[in-house]
Structure 1
Amino acid sequence: DIQLLDDDEQAEQMNGEDGWEFVPLKGKMIGIRTSTMDDKHMAIELLVVYAQVLEAAFAPFVANIMEKIALPGLAFFFHDPVRYISAKLVPQLLSSYKKAYGCPSNELAGLWAATVGKLLEVLSAEPSIETLAEMYQCFYESVEVVGKNCLTSVHMNGFIDSVHSTIEDYQTRVTHRAEEKAGATADDVEDEAEEIEREIEDDQTLLSDMNKAFHSIFKNHGATFLPAWERLMTTYQSFLTSKDPTQRQWGLCILDDVLEYCGPESNRYANYITQPLIDGCRDPSAAIRQAAAYGIGVAARHG
């Protein structure tokens, strides 16, 4: 339930009731009955379990649930837990359909066609870092379920559009943190250390889930993803030369996928790839050394 209230007095009267939260908006108050939202979350969570346990037997209910519950739940901005659990539900519904009808099949293709656009839409419209990471996870898990050649060039370019926007926002946050740190006193740094650490962890999770999305696309589409992928070449280069080890690792992992899944097509990127792999093997970070060594190995095997 949602109520639009004209003043604080009405909000105070309703605040005495259990399960209401209030948000100010342009001189008014929006009241949200969170107890109802919690019930909605629990119901969707139960659907996830049904889809996992029943698998193919759940297929008769999948299309209706996807249309009426799962996809609208991704954009349910009033309650983040509903969005998180909806993101878990989408790939499970696709999996039920796949086990019932096989892959490829007209049934799975039809369900995916009605789903993929919505997934890309939430990637491009999500302002919350934590929620955006969940949406990238939903996307790559869904791609893994549907499998080979499930994305068109339009989908791939839509994904890159979302990534470009996400990375721009990420770089703005990194710059802002650096500027605040430079102008802060020792006491300020100590007081804000926990919050800053949490922000950095959220960004690292986001980059990790975005990287897994790249991996899934390359795994299932190979070199056909390269034309869209190339649009962010300058971004990959800036990450590879960054002082931040998280960014360097992110860039190397994407290059590893190019080498592993694009075969001889990756040769034309040799000038971009070779030196970062060599430098990565000498990097102080063990994770970066591992990513670089893996890249050299897959280059020898597939290049």
Structure 2
Amino acid sequence: MYEQSVDRLACALGGKVVLPPAFQYIPSMLVSYDWRSRHAGLMAIAAIAEGTGRVMQNELGKIVDLVTPMFKDSHPRVRYAACQCIGQLCTDLEEVIQEQFHEQLFPVLVQALEDPEPRVHAHAAAALINFCEGVEREILLPYLDPIVERLLKLLNPGGDQAAVKQYVQEQAVTTLAMVADASEGGFAKHYPTIMPLLLSVLQNADGREYQKLRIKAMECAGLIAIAVGKEVFRPDSNALIEQLIRIQKSPQDVNDTQLSHYLMATWSKVCQALGEEFEPYLPVVMPSILTTASAKADISVYDEDAENLEEKEGWEIIEMDGQTLGIRTSSIDEKCQAFETLVIYCSTLGSHFAPYLSQTLEITLPALKFYFHDGVREAAAMLAPMLLACGKQSNTLTTQMLSAIFHQLISCISTEHDSSFLSSLYKCFCDCLRLIGGPASLSPEYSHGLMEATKRQLHSIADKRKARTQRVQREMESGGGDEGLKEEMGMLEEIEDYALEDMGRCLQMFDGNHQLLIAVGSVKELGMGLYHGEEED
């Protein structure tokens, strides 16, 4: 509770206010005889990092010098807190701390993987994930061998297997996956040792108690396959695919809510690793993906206002068209993952995806108007031109498919209220237009429809900007001028500008001097210029 309070305080007040008083106390806490004070000092640094990050960067060297000796502390909870502190700093000061202080931090984290206390070496492995998420491959490679060697010892320590902590193995597998992803081809030398271990886990870890270890092994195997590439992975691909098929066909534990997610994700990674060689396995994976992608949202309609309702776990309450709706988030998250997986399959397989072109297009075009999840719509907008390209390459594209694509895109552009997604729709339209040979290949009906939809959007954005300007003027006249309100309006304006830019690019494809380009510029000038970078904390 206290950590959360400090975190919120730092986020609210910023680094200039919080850091000076905090570091009046933290250095003395870190040298206290009481381990609880040393622990609290480290956790305090971790807690304030998010809110004070920009100012903290200037003192980062001193902070690293304070924290690194704590990895040798006599008390395991202090060493655990040191791992927590570095892991949090790597997240909140991503790339900065990795680039400037990797020589100090990598060695202490690697050494902590051999800590005698299981919870400490597991947390060191977790901190390495945060470190690797913001590290350049060239920085990671010199440390790769000692990291992998120690993680393998955690995964398969030998000796008394009864003494092995399963949560340590789960964390070791998770960290191996991240390290493989970050190091890319540099991981190939460790592949012959690691992949057989992962396949063994998938083959033997069938009990309910091994659910997490199994899904982490799946994730790790998929990421390693991508990292080492097709030539290295190919000899083991059949063995991994056989295990995935076996797991997919096995009776599912109704309480295992993560298995389907990790199965779908691992199949997509295997596809990325094998490329076009994945085509024979499409009949295995596509039926369930198409079913998930075409699922309807699980919705409840409430009589009360949204603000008077408490959200149930797994449900989100929203206002739409004057109604209060409850949406089960798990089902629409699964739908989003299914569409993102279809993007991977189609982009990787190209013309080899053709047997599923028609079915996929049937569910993709309506998904452009799936207003309950932005991720579904964004994935559908990416997928539409890929499907068009697939049809063109495989000679399976029909005039009906083309008509359906452009009709739906124009309909979406005409009615879209979200400027961010409007930008995606124009990009999607332009990509599709290029694939058919440019504006000359588009029927006059659709050219006219696009221009009418664009005029409608220009009027809509202009009206929004005028209303915002009037609101700010009223606020200033009444002595208001809330900074939070200006910031929110500035963000909306910035998103609209991106949409206007994509709108302009689309119009230029038709005519470099298109008359609507003047209107695009005029609407842009209606902006108040409220976004000009972020201020210092």
Same fold (TM over 0.5): yes
Farther off after superposition, 137-146 or 155-164: 137-146
- The residue identity in structure 2 corresponding to 1:57 is K
Equivalent position amino acid for 2:341 in 1? A
* Aligned-partner residue type, residue 278 of structure 2: L
CA-CA distance at 1:300 after TM superposition: 2.5
Q: Are 1:166 and 2:298 matched, yes or no? A: no
Q: Distance in 1 between matches of 2:407 and 2:249?
A: 33
Contact residue 218 and residue 257 of structure 1 kept, 8 A: yes
Counterpart position of 1:236: 364
Partner Cα distance (2:426, 2:212) in 1: 39
1:144 and 2:263 aligned: no
Q: Give the superposition deviation at 1:273.
A: 0.7
Q: Provide, for residues 57-95 of structure 1, a one-character-per-residue CA deviation record: whole Å limited to 9, x for no partner.
A: 11221442232025656x664355424422331123324
- Whether 1:288 and 2:421 are equivalent positions in the alignment is yes
Q: What TM-score results when the alignment is normalised by the length of structure 2?
A: 0.40
Residue number among 241, 246, 256 corresponding to 2:385 in the alignment: 256
Which residue number in structure 1 is paired with residue 156 of structure 2?
none
Structure 2 match to 1:56: 188
1:112 and 2:112 aligned: no
Match of 1:300 in 2: 433
1:72–1:136 Cα change, 3 Å: farther
1:279 to 1:267, Cα distance in 2 relative to 1, 3 A: same
Per the TM alignment, residue 185 of structure 1 is displaced from its structure 2 partner at its CA by 5.3
Q: Secondary structure at the match of 2:309?
A: helix
Q: Deviations over 1:199-222 (max 9, x none)?
A: 754444433332222122112211
Q: How many residues align?
A: 254
Cα deviation, residue 132, structure 1: 3.0
Contact 2:222/2:269 (8 A) holds in 1: yes
Q: C-alpha displacement at 1:109, in angstroms?
A: 2.3
- For 1:213 and 1:242, the matched residues in 2 are separated by 17
Q: Distance in 1 between matches of 2:403 and 2:249?
A: 31
User: Which residue of the partner structure matches residue 220 of structure 2?
Assistant: 89
1:278 pairs, out of 396, 401, 410, with 410
After superposition, what is the alpha-carbon deviation per residue over 1:140-178, rounded to whole angstroms, capped at 9, x for unaligned? 23322332x12134x11222211134246x42xx24x33
Taking a change above 3 Å as real, the CA distance of residues 215 and 234 of structure 1, as seen in their structure-2 partners, is closer
Match of 1:196 in 2: 315
What amino acid is the match of 1:87?
Answer: M
Deviation at 1:225, TM superposition (A): 0.8
Q: Please, which runs of 5 or more residues in structure 2 have no aligned partner? A: 1-161, 318-326, 437-537
Higher RCO (CA-CA < 8 Å; seq separation 6+): 1
CA separation of 1:141 and 1:235: change in aligned 2, threshold 3 A: same
Is the CA contact (8 Å cut-off) linking 1:160 and 1:229 kept in structure 2?
A: no
- Quote the Cα distance in structure 2 between the aligned partners of 1:216 and 1:111: 21
Bigger Cα displacement from structure 2, 243-252 vs 157-166? 243-252
Q: What is residue 218 of structure 1 aligned with on the other side?
A: 346
Q: Secondary structure of 1:192's match?
A: coil
> Given the alignment, which residue of 155, 160, 169 partners 1:40?
169
Identity of aligned residues (%): 9
- 1:302 maps to a residue whose letter is L
| CA–CA separation in structure 2 for the residues paired with 1:236 and 1:289 | 17
CA distance in 1, matches of 2:357, 2:308: 38
Q: Is the 8 A contact 2:248 2:263 kept in 1?
A: yes
1:150 alignment partner, SS class: helix
Shift of 1:118: 3.6
Give 1:243 deviation, angstroms.
Answer: 5.5
> Distance between the aligned counterparts of 2:404 and 2:424, measured in 1?
16
Q: Does 1:69 align with 2:201?
A: yes
Q: Which amino acid aligns with 2:427?
A: Y
Q: Distance in 2 between matches of 1:93 and 1:248?
A: 30
CA 1:250 to 1:94, structure 2 compared with 1: closer, same or farther past 3 Å? closer
Q: 1:76 to 1:219 in 2, by over 3 A?
A: farther
Q: CA–CA distance in 1 between the matches of 2:288 and 2:202?
A: 21
* 2:222 partner letter: P
CA distance change for structure 1 residues 41 and 142 in 2, over 3 Å: closer, same or farther? same
Say whether residues 1:208 and 2:336 are aligned partners. yes
Indicate the RMSD between aligned Cα atoms, in angstroms.
3.7
Q: State how far apart, in whole Å, the 1-side matches of 2:192 and 2:378 are.
A: 43
Distance, in Å, in 1 between the alignment partners of 2:175 and 2:373 is: 40
- In the alignment, the residues of structure 2 paired with residue 96 and residue 72 of structure 1 have an alpha-carbon distance, to the nearest angstrom, of 25
Letter in 1 for 2:170: H
Residue 6 of structure 1 corresponds to none
CA distance in 2, matches of 1:80, 1:222: 34
Shift of 1:295: 1.9
Distance 2:331 2:420 in 1: 17
Q: Which structure has the larger Rg?
A: 2
1:216-243 CA distance string (max 9 Å, x none): 2112211221212433554335434556
Gaps of 5+ in 1: 1-32
Of stretches 48-57 and 289-298 in structure 1, the one that deviates more from structure 2 is 48-57
Kindly state the Cα deviation for residue 121 of structure 1 after the two structures are TM-superposed.
5.6
